[in-house]
Amino acid sequence: MLNIAYVGFGKSTNRYHIPYVQQRPDKFHIRRVVAPHINKRPDDRAKLEANGTIFSTDIQDIIADDKLDLVVVVTPAPTHFAVAKELLSAGKNVLTDKPVVATVKEVKELIDLATQNNAFFMPFQNRRFDSDFLTLQHVLKTGYVGRPIELELHMDHYRPNDAKQSGGVMDTTWFDHGAHLVDQMVSLFGKPQHVAYDLRVVRDLTATLSDQFEVNLFYKDAFKATIQSSEITTVHYPKWILHGTKGSYIKYNIDQQEYDLKTGIMPGDTGFGIDAPQDYGKVTYYNQNNDRIEKVIPTITGDYGRVYDAVYETLVNQQEKLVSNEQLLTTISILEAGAAAPSPHIVNFDN
């Protein structure tokens, strides 16, 4: 069993991390939680303390604890680099929430620190286990659509009044949602040859932080992937649109985990994360006899806890990391390049 410590005890820790770890009592024990405000969630704290979790406000308590096997950083994004650096310098294994850092220079420093101290370091890319993403992977592998030509991935909301006036690049929608969407594309297709960026300020034209993006990733064999996110979309696009040489696949709506977690339905509850049949995607393709086939593809159930399963396999059974250092570097380089120049602009990654 691995002993875990959390740095941070806010919404993300209690929604996207702890509920999944608690479904794996044979693999993980939450030994410590360190946060500046540990009394904001008294009921959650009491439940954890009843199972032996120690709460405190000083990260040195984690650094001094030689019984810890993994530290999970779930602090505000701009603090990730400093916190992860301190932990890795102390030889701790670190799983860091996204976006990990703002620059390639920073991520290289953290990777080097982990290597020097023989420590584990990886981003928490839980949306590799979105149900819709797992199903899209299945559609690609089965070859229904033939050779992929165009792929669109959307993450849309209607949040007209949540615009941030100012901040750093890690406060932008591009680094927030983009960190997930870029990672999904990198995990499927690797490093693109070119990337075209369109990052805009849409909700509050006086703000300095972009809150909408459309980014095109160009790959070999005439393939293009488009990732897009808007915070003022009242009628959402399909989540996935895939066109290939033999057919197309369209899937509306996001992973049901997201809806359930926000309403207090947790992993282990009946029906958690199960997609409704009306939300299943549909593939339309031509078979070898040139017959037009329409087929509903049942959604593969997602599970964000599988990130923890992967970490366990790496730390205990020496399996390869779920997110490789190369993939992490590629994702951060794409994110950094998007914010490094005024949009629209194009960056060549084919080197």
Region 127-306+333-348: CATH code:
3.30.360.10
Quick one: what percent of the chain has pLDDT higher than 70? Answer: 100
Q: Please report the pLDDT score of residue 217 as a whole number.
A: 98
Q: Please report the pLDDT score of residue 286 as a whole number.
A: 92
- Predicted confidence (pLDDT) per residue in 197-219, tens digit: 999 999 999 888 899 999 999 99
In this prediction, residues 113-136 reach a mean pLDDT of 98
pTM comes to 0.95
Q: Please report the pLDDT score of residue 332 as a whole number.
A: 98
In this prediction, residues 227-232 reach a mean pLDDT of 95
Is the pLDDT score of 161 beyond 90?
no
Where along the chain do its domains lie? 2-124, 127-306+333-348
Region 2-124: CATH code:
3.40.50.720
- Predicted confidence (pLDDT) per residue in 47-62, tens digit: 999 999 999 999 999 9
At residue 248, what is the residue type? S
Q: Please report the pLDDT score of residue 165 as a whole number.
A: 78
Q: Please report the pLDDT score of residue 164 as a whole number.
A: 83
In this prediction, residues 71-86 reach a mean pLDDT of 97
- Going by pLDDT thresholds of 50, 70 and 90, the confidence category of residue 156 is very high
